[in-house]
């Protein structure tokens, strides 16, 4: 059972009239993990409050709630996505509706595979951004884009089938949205492996 003062604090920290400066004061002075995590969930928390809750001296649970807050700004989410944050905090930021494509692009080079995949498959990874990633000088970035991006269109497939890397061209040929016209394009690829795959796919259809 909570100590009586715990109930009082809970009533204060969840009060609808709590002001952002009071939230900031608690974030600066409080050291109890549960209290910090509770107050940062307040609907009146501002980006300034959220920024403080994402500082390195905060508990992971507090950071996670801060990253998920509907008032989180672009700067807050960028901070939450840093590689030194926990899986839960970074995942909460990726799930936040306020995230933008500009947050996702740097993550395609993230050391964590799950982050790269989540960023590429995110619905806010728009077609224009995918187009740029398919022109990236690093074949690993182009390949993972072809494998994991959700918003792949016909123009993306046209570009990827012509990619000099046979792995990327092959991924394009077997993509669920690939058409016979892409198989025809694959017949002229420099790689014999890609040409054979294109022949097989044309015969299958």
Q: What is the pLDDT of residues 61-94, one digit of tens each?
A: 999 999 999 999 999 999 999 999 999 999 999 9
> How far is 40 from 50, CA to CA, in rounded Å?
7
Closest CA to 23 of 8, 2, 40: 40
Question: What's the rounded Cα separation, in Å, for the pair 136 and 143?
Answer: 10
Q: pLDDT value at position 82?
A: 95
Residue 151 has pLDDT above 80, yes or no: yes
pLDDT at 16: 78
pLDDT (average), residues 125-142:
93
Share of the chain above pLDDT 90, in %: 83
In percent, the amount of the chain with pLDDT more than 70 equals 94
- Model's pTM, two decimal places? 0.81
User: 3-state class of 98 per DSSP?
Assistant: coil
The answer, yes or no, to whether residue 1 has pLDDT greater than 50, is no
Residues 26-58: pLDDT tens digits?
899 988 888 899 999 999 999 999 999 999 999
Residue 128 predicted with pLDDT over 60: yes
User: What CA–CA distances, in Å, run from 131 to 30, 56, 99, 141, 189?
Assistant: 47, 36, 20, 12, 20
More confident residue, 11 or 181: 181
Helix (H) or strand (E) run with residue 99 in it:
none
> Whole-number mean pLDDT of the chain?
92
For residue 49, how many other CB atoms are within 10 A of its CB?
24
């Amino acid at each position: 059972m909570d100590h009586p003062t715990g109930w009082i604090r809970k009533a204060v920290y969840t009060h609808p009239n709590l002001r952002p400066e009071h939230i900031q004061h608690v974030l600066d002075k409080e050291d109890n993990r549960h209290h910090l995590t509770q107050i940062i969930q307040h609907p009146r928390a501002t980006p300034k409050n959220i920024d403080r809750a994402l500082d390195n001296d905060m508990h992971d649970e507090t950071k996670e709630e801060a990253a998920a807050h509907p008032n989180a700004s672009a700067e807050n989410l960028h901070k939450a996505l840093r590689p030194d944050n926990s899986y839960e905090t970074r995942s909460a930021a990726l799930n936040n509706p306020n995230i933008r494509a500009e947050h996702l692009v740097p993550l395609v080079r993230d050391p964590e595979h799950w982050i790269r995949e989540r960023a590429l498959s995110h619905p806010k990874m728009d077609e224009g951004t995918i187009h740029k990633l398919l022109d990236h000088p690093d074949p690993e970035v182009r390949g993972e884009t072809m494998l994991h991006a959700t918003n792949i269109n016909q123009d993306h497939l046209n570009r990827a089938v012509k990619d000099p890397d046979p792995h990327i061209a092959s991924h394009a040929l077997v993509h669920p949205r690939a058409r016979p016209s892409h198989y025809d394009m694959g017949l002229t690829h420099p790689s014999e492996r890609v040409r054979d795959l294109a022949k097989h796919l044309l015969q299958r259809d």
